[in-house]
Amino acid sequence: MKRMIKLFMFAAIVAAFAVPALAQSKDCTDENKAAWYQKFLDNYKGSAEQQKVAYDAAKSYLSSCPADPSDQIAAYLKKFVDLVDKARSDVAAKNQLEDAYTKKNYAEAVRLGKQVLATDPEYIRAEILVALSGFSASTTGDTSLLGDAAEYAKKAIDAINAGKPFAPYSSKDQALASLNYVVGRATAKNTPGDAIPYFLKAARFESDLKKSPQLYLDLAGAYNDGPRAKLTADYQPFVGKPETPESKLILENLNQVIDRQVDALARAAALTTNATDKKAVMDDLTALYKYRNKSETGLNELVASVLSKPIPDVPTPITSLPSTSTPGGAPTNVGSPGTNGGAGNSGSAKTAGSSNTSTTGQTKTTSASATGTQTGSAKPAVSPTPKPRPRRSNHRVGM
């Protein structure tokens, strides 16, 4: 029985069956029952066409004869028929899922994907398609499925890391990069700081995504809307007052975040090929870089070399001030060695938004961490106030 079940779980029984129906009466006679059963035995291990003959024979036996608990042949044939019916139903649902995703009916694809997974939890492709459908819907303005996108992308990531198939992607790295990016975009909507590790993971896999400026614009935005916004708010009570160890500590942590933001924008600028978009990203990058360094010196060199260095990780919070101040200059965290590369197309200038007008024309900072000088009673200025940045709505995760 186990062998029979295994055979039919994977058989192509849902193919188009062109075999004619059995040419015999439907009367429940011993002769007919014997003929149906023999027909079943002769064909159930064969080709798809033969399996169709076996299925029809079993159906004839079961539909022609009244239920009889003592009929062991009928019980055996029913197990076979139920297996075939379930397999056909599963394949039909999977085909409907593929069709809904292909036709960009994303809400339906999410519904069908959940339905498929309810009967076949090991079908990782459904988890991937649910994740991509929820993400793709958000790029057209429907953010209601982002929760599903993040949930099923995380499940697919765990499954793929455990050795499960990564189709429809061409490689494991492509799959993991895209799925981490999906989680990042979904998470950034409500908790941008939590999205940063997912964007960083997406950038470190060998995939086409790491060559997309949009990934780094999203990363810069997550730094802007997450830790930078929080640290800026933490600094507000100290504006216009003499510096204190607490205010300096906040600025030290804030500058670490701004350095990461500069690095992300530099990568976006380096990867952007469209002249208009490149100028827009460079304008934002220049404003933020000048705010951080009080000069544009070293900016062009940073953009030219940043892709040859590893992307820096999330900064470790500073919990105490250094005993002495470090002279100012180019930020020490920007462009630290890492894995990147490639070319791509950028979004609009406003997509970077992490600096934008929020970093231009602001008051000067005189803290030790920003300028390399200590002024004692000087009144430090607030850091640029981060502003939410619009996202591109037409960015898709490739496969």
CA distance 89 to 92: 5
CA distance 399 to 396: 10
Which tokens sit at 351?
């997509």
Contacts of residue 170, Cβ cutoff 8 Å, sequence gap at least 6 = 399
pLDDT in tens, 140-177: 999 999 999 999 999 999 999 999 999 999 999 999 99
pLDDT in tens, 210-224: 999 999 999 999 999
Geometric angle at alpha carbon 150, from 144 and 155, rounded to 5°? 135
Task: Say whether 272 sits in a helix, a strand or coil.
Answer: strand
Q: What is the 3-state secondary structure (H, E, C) of 24-52?
A: CCCCCCHHHHHHHHHHHHHHCCCCHHHHH
CB atoms within 10 A of CB 141: 7
Residue with token string 């099923």? 152
Residue 351: predicted pLDDT: 34
Task: Please determine, for residue 340, whether its predicted confidence score (pLDDT) is greater than 90.
Answer: no
Phi, psi of 344 (to 5 degrees): -175, -170
Residue with token string 């379930």? 86
Quick one: which H or E segment has residue 149? helix 146-161
Geometric angle at alpha carbon 116, from 112 and 118, rounded to 5°? 115
Task: Please determine, for residue 388, whether its predicted confidence score (pLDDT) is greater than 60.
Answer: no
pTM of the model: 0.71
Sign of CA dihedral 177, 178, 179, 185: positive
pLDDT in tens, 194-245: 999 999 999 999 999 999 999 999 999 999 999 999 999 999 999 999 999 9
CA distance 311 to 337: 7
pLDDT in tens, 2-52: 433 333 333 334 333 333 444 456 899 999 999 999 999 999 999 989 999
CB atoms within 10 A of CB 39: 19
Maximum distance among all Cα pairs of the chain, rounded to whole angstroms: 107
